[in-house]
Amino acid sequence: DAKTTQPPSMDCAEGRAANLPCNHSTISGNEYVYWYRQIHSQGPQYIIHGLKNNETNEMASLIITEDRKSSTLILPHATLRDTAVYYCIVSVSTGTASKLTFGTGTRLQVTL
Amino acid sequence: GAGVSQTPSNKVTEKGKYVELRCDPISGHTALYWYRQSLGQGPEFLIYFQGTGAADDSGLPNDRFFAVRPEGSVSTLKIQRTERGDSAVYLCASSSGFGKQYFGPGTRLTVL
């Protein structure tokens, strides 16, 4: 699986958009970009994933560059409950089975 | 509905002892994964099951670690002759498809 590079930490004011970048310059054509987050003392939580088109769901938006070498996760209106470690993962999805390779992620701190 | 559950939530054992960690996946999920997370690190893949069989056990660190899923639902991770370096949070996840994994809260294992 391709490796990803994320900043170790970011701050965001509550109510503002949080934009979390991820570089995955060695991504292969059949690899998806996944985002998970882990709130303190909980298991990771799926946020969103995409292949090459931008994606949006009730939690976030995912913007993938045209060359697919980087992406940005956008939380449109961050709240204190969004404080967590955010992981960007690239993985081949083969039916039901896709092993996830986590890095160290970005620790997002949302402040008042 | 019920999510992934793991028991016990905490386990303290002595070096050299045998431990079993249990995972109850979401009903109907065919894929089940085990990960291990050390302090300050992202989760590290150990093994995954597709149904009853271990489809990929490449992440198991050595032959002291073993996992089973005899009826394709509940899984047990077994660790023999525990060492202090085995101390970590052991996470279980299940999936019904397309890379979206649902994680349990984890079992915190402490080896004294």
| Tokens found for residue A90 | 């690239």
- Confidence class for position A92, pLDDT limits 50, 70, 90: confident
Q: Which of A22, A25, A49 is nearest to A35 (CA)?
A: A49
Which chain A residue shows the shortest CA-CA distance from B4? Answer: A43
- In this prediction, residue A1 carries a pLDDT of 58
* Higher pLDDT, residue A104 or B83: B83
Average pLDDT over residues A78-94: 91
Rounded to the nearest 5°, which phi and psi values hold at A66? -60, -35
Q: Which amino acid is at A6?
A: Q
Instruction: Give contacts of B57 with chain A, Cβ < 8 Å.
Output: none
pLDDT at B81: 98
pLDDT score of B2: 84
Amino acid at A103: G
Q: Is the pLDDT of residue A97 over 80?
A: no
A93 contacts chain B (CB < 8 A): yes
Q: Which residue of A has its CA nearest to B101?
A: A46
The pLDDT mean for chain B works out to: 94
Contact assignment for A87 to B42 by CB distance below 8 Å? yes
Give residue A2's pLDDT. Answer: 61
* DSSP for A34-88, written as a single string: EEEEE-TTS--EEEEEESSS-EE-SS-EEEE-TTSSEEEEEETT--GGG-EEEEE
Asked if the model's pLDDT at residue A57 lies above 60, the reply is yes
